[in-house]
Chain A
Amino acid sequence: MAKSVVQEFTKGLWAEIPPFRLVLGLCPVLAVTKTVENGVGMGIATTFVLVCSNVLISLFQNVIPKRVRIACYIVVIATFVTVVELVMQAFAYPLFLKLGIFIPLIVVNCIVLGRAEAFAAKNNVGRSFLDGLGIGIGFTLSLTVLAAVREVFGSGTFTAPLSSAVSLFGPDFQPFAFMVEAPGAFVCLGLMLCLMNMLGKKS
């Protein structure tokens, strides 16, 4: 049962990669993956909150009373989300405007609370840090891949973080607009989940 330290980190990248293996925190996944830039920005913001809240909660695991633990976790998470909000307003204002209410909504992202409850509350600081980092990076990767698929097919562009959109197929390309709209988000995520299931069966 006891995993090596390396495994705590790498499990977030494949074995328990959110949102494909852990089907949690779908709202930001569906909402912000219209462009790659948004996806990466959201992933990094979530990773920061995950790592900080995991570390703090595992430090305080013996102090937090069991009965009100969820409330305590939420206060910790909300504090870090406020930090992210203020930092983004100061240094990445255009991205902050694009992500809109999904930045404050990191508070209610089930992945963050789920890791706090399922992992950070029972493990030491080092492991919780690695767990948060691994899951966070896995989440960022998934968002990037999904956003890349949706952006390339849906609008025919690719927006690397902190740069402008690059057109890929020239001016005659008719974008498959379904992909960037809400229905496309659901179908695309569903099909990627199916692909992950197929790959998982083989290994």
Chain B
Amino acid sequence: MGDLLVLGISCIFVNNILLMQYLGNCPFLGVSKKMETATGMAMAVVFVLVMAGAITWLTSAYVLKPFGFEYLQTLAFILVIAALVQFVEMFLRKSIPGLYAGLGIFLPLITTNCAVMGVCLINIKEEYDFIQALVASFTYALGFGLALILFAAVRERILLCKVPRPLQDTSIGLVSAGMLSLAFFAFKGMV
């Protein structure tokens, strides 16, 4: 139990998926202009990532490894994730149309969110067992959500400031992401 807690904390803070592992940066910059979309994206990623982590781990352990198809890992994982995202999209459109409208173009883009694919690959690479993979997926997703929401709050403040013209928009966004990343850097060595 203690080990899992350590794993969880290291996934949220020390190895934060966005700011330390550089994964999932396109949605990070894309949906972080407004708090609402950032929260929606964070929830969608938590939902998708836990399911994707579980399903890809099972695919790897019970389909790819027994038959020696490990070299097809990339292809198999992306197909599983794409199907899953399609399902989530259909589910949201039917039951939560408000959120669906808010996320707009970014929902299909979860398929190409490297955070989702990246965590699934890390789970296999680090040879986690099923429970560890579940915990890692969930906490990586929480870390993603935390960083995304913090960053959205920072960006809403930046909107009120006078930024020099060439630095506007993405440019100042990246620089402030760097500052946020510096703050997360302090967690290094904690676990």
Contact = CB atoms under 8 A, between A and B. Distances in A.
Interface of A: 23-27, 30-31, 70-71, 74-75, 78-79, 81-82, 85-86, 100-101, 104-105, 107-110, 113, 181-191, 193-195, 197-198, 201
Interface string B24-62: 111001000000000000000000000000000000000
B178 interface: yes
A193 B74 CA distance: 31
B181 interface: yes
B82 interface: yes
B74 A81 contact: yes
Contact of A197 (B71, B86, B166): B166
B111 interface: yes
A104 B74 contact: yes
A23 B82 CA distance: 23
Majority DSSP secondary structure for residues of A touching B: helix
A181 B185 contact: yes
A186 to B, nearest CB: 3
B175 interface: yes
A182 B22 contact: yes
B190 to A, nearest CB: 16
A79 B82 contact: no
Interface string B78-96: 1100100010000000000
A97 B114 CA distance: 19
A24 B170 CA distance: 11
Contacts of A82: 71-72, 74-75
Contacts of B112: 108-110, 113
Q: How large is the interface on B (under 10, 10 to 19, 20 to 34, 35 or more residues)?
A: 35 or more
A86 B185 contact: no
A193 B109 CA distance: 23
Contacts of B23: 27, 31, 105
Contacts of B75: 75, 78-79, 82
Given A27-B23, A78-B74, A113-B112, A194 B166 contact: yes
A116 to B, nearest CB: 11
B22 A101 contact: no
B33 to A, nearest CB: 13
A198 B21 CA distance: 30
Contact of A25 (B26, B77, B118, B173): B26
Contacts of B179: 183, 187
A27 B144 CA distance: 14
Nearest to A25: B26
Nearest to B181: A183
A194 B167 contact: yes
Contacts of A201: 165-166
Nearest to B175: A190
B104 to A, nearest CB: 15
Given A108-B117, A193-B171, A26 B29 contact: yes
A184 B178 contact: yes
Given A108-B111, A186-B175, 17 more contacts: A24-B26, A27-B24, A70-B108, A74-B78, A85-B74, A104-B74, A113-B112, A183-B185, A184-B178, A185-B22, A188-B178, A189-B174, A190-B167, A190-B170, A190-B171, A197-B165, A197-B167
Interface in B93-120: 108-109, 111-114, 116-118
